[in-house]
Every structure is written in structure tokens, then in C-alpha cells.
């Protein structure tokens, strides 16, 4: 399993609309092949900043699957106009994970 990670800087003043549109958009991503789970988190120190974490079975499910799909076009039109600058998206693999 891999994590897609993006820090999303939302245009100031658009945070509530972004959250409403993200609420719709999450139905798109969660219906895709290889999708496992996701989280949207909001920064306490910089409230226009969000962290998006999406777990995919394989890197290809995100890169080749989702990004080449027609559903990605809907995701883009719902969300991409909120970001400034446009986010860098990276992928991560778990090294350690534990809970107390």
C-alpha cells in the first residue's frame, strides 16, 4: 500500500467552499479501483492549508488509474481552482507505524 500526500494551500477566503466541494469530490476518489482510504486534515497554524492523504493499493492505481480516468476530470473541475500555488503531489511508503 502507498500513500498519496499533498499539501493544499487554498486561496484565503475560499476555505468553506473548498470543504463543501471536497465533501462531494471525495465520493469520486473513493469509487476508484485501488482506493483504500483518505483523510483531509486542516492546519492549525495556517488555516488555509490542508493535508490530503490518500491510501492506494499500488502507485499505478493513482498515477495510471485515477489520473487517466474521466472521473479525474470531475475531481479537477471541483477542486483545482482553489489551490495557489498548485500542489506538489508525492507518494510515500510506510517505514514504521505503531500506536500506544
Phi, psi angles (nearest 5°) of residue 61? -60, -35
Spell out the residues 6+ positions from residue 63 whose beta carbon is closer than 8 angstroms to its own: none
Of 73, 59, 49, the C-alpha closest to 3 is: 59
State in angstroms the smallest separation of the CB of 72 from a second copy.
17
Choice between 22 and 75, CB closer to a second copy: 22
Least Å distance, CB 68 to a second copy, is: 19
Q: How many residues does the chain have?
A: 100
**Residues near a second copy (CB under 8 A):** 2-3, 5, 19, 22-23, 26, 30-31, 35-46, 49-51, 55, 59, 90-100
Burial class (CB within 10 angstroms; exposed 0-12, middle 13-18, buried 19+) of 4: buried
Which is nearer to a second copy, 35 or 82 (by Cβ)? 35
Nearer residue to a second copy within complex by CB, 5 or 74: 5
Q: Residue 59 CB, nearest distance to a second copy (Å)?
A: 7
Amino acid at each position: 500500500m502507498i500513500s498519496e500526500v499533498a499539501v493544499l494551500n487554498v486561496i484565503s477566503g475560499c476555505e468553506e467552499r473548498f470543504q463543501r466541494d471536497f465533501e462531494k469530490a471525495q465520493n469520486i476518489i473513493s469509487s476508484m479501483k485501488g482506493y483504500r482510504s483518505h483523510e483531509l486534515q486542516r492546519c492549525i497554524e495556517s488555516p488555509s492549508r490542508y493535508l490530503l492523504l490518500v491510501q492506494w493499493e499500488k502507485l499505478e492505481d493513482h498515477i495510471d488509474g485515477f489520473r487517466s480516468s474521466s472521473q479525474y476530470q470531475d475531481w479537477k473541475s471541483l477542486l483545482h481552482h482553489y489551490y495557489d500555488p498548485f500542489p506538489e503531489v508525492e507518494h510515500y511508503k510506510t517505514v514504521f507505524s505503531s500506536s500506544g
